Amino acid sequence: MVSMEIVNAVRRALEDSPPRGFEESVDLAINLRDVDLTQPQNRIDEEVLLPHGRGRPVKVAVFGRGDVAQRAKDAGADYVFDEEGIKGLGEDPHIARNLANEVDFFISETVYMPLIGRMLGRVLGPRGKMPMPLTPDKDVTELVKRARSAIRVRSKDRPTFHVSIGRRKMDPVLLAENVESVITRIEQRLDRGRQNIRSVYVKTTMGPAVKVM
């Protein structure tokens, strides 16, 4: 059962933020301590499944061919590219950037990963959107479905980082359960668990921050 401390923090964040003329996201600000983030192996780079999703449609693109491509389309992937499609994107930086901004998750057959690195790495890499490798033991149908409710949590080299965990229209308890999932995964990733987390705040896009822990 989700902590009432988290539920109350989410409720306060929603109540303290006046209605806006657009649909706000609900975000976490996470502050680490005593973690040497100059060392790449200490940085947070985790995929977290949100039990209640993001509260908005999530776009997924797959780099694949043949049966993989067909199953990706059947699973509802928004875009599917084969080798020629990857090369075409690499030759048109404007379209590649638009795609990188529009799509939330990329998945790729492992055979295409070197090509993607050469053609699209400079576009996808800085956005933290390099494809999830589709290894032989994974099912593209399941990965597409999983991507609909997953987020990427990345600290890079800074102790404070942000992640969206839902939309303002969602129920506070459901948002709180999403918050708890993110915190739990980060604790598992850190050497000293919760002791390496200085603080966590929750807020709407333009609202005040409320301390969770």
Q: How far is CA 168 from CA 78, 202, 206, in A?
A: 25, 12, 11
User: pTM for the whole thing?
Assistant: 0.80
Q: Which tens digits make up the pLDDT trace of 57-76?
A: 899 999 999 999 999 999 99
The predicted pLDDT at position 188 comes to 95
As annotated, the residues of the chain forming the CATH 3.30.190.20 domain(s) are 4-55+149-211
Count the Cβ atoms, other than its own, within 10 Å of residue 73: 16
Look up residue 61 and give its amino acid: A
The predicted pLDDT at position 206 comes to 94
Question: Sign of the C-alpha dihedral, residues 129, 148, 30, 36?
Answer: negative
SS3 160: strand
CA dihedral 95, 101, 107, 113 (to 10 degrees): 60
Q: Which tens digits make up the pLDDT trace of 106-146?
A: 999 999 999 999 999 999 999 889 999 999 999 999 999 88
Confidence of residue 148 (pLDDT cuts 50, 70, 90): confident
Judged against a pLDDT cut of 90, whether residue 150 lies above it is answered with no
Judged against a pLDDT cut of 90, whether residue 168 lies above it is answered with yes
Q: Are 171 and 11 in contact (CB under 8 A)?
A: no
C-alpha angle 141-60-23 in degrees, rounded to nearest 5: 130
Q: Would residue 133 be called left, alpha or beta, if left means φ above 0 and alpha means ψ between -120 and 50 degrees?
A: beta
In DSSP terms, 63 is beta-bridged to 81, 108
As annotated, the residues of the chain forming the CATH 3.40.50.790 domain(s) are 60-147
The predicted pLDDT at position 149 comes to 87
CATH of 60-147, one of 3.40.50.790, 3.30.1600.10, 3.30.420.250, 3.30.360.10: 3.40.50.790
Please say whether the structural domain 4-55+149-211 has been given the CATH code 3.40.50.2300. Answer: no
Q: How far is CA 138 from CA 106, 132, 141, 160, 167, in A?
A: 15, 11, 9, 33, 30
The predicted pLDDT at position 33 comes to 97
83-90 and 93-102 helices cross at what angle (nearest 10)?
Answer: 110
Judged against a pLDDT cut of 90, whether residue 164 lies above it is answered with yes
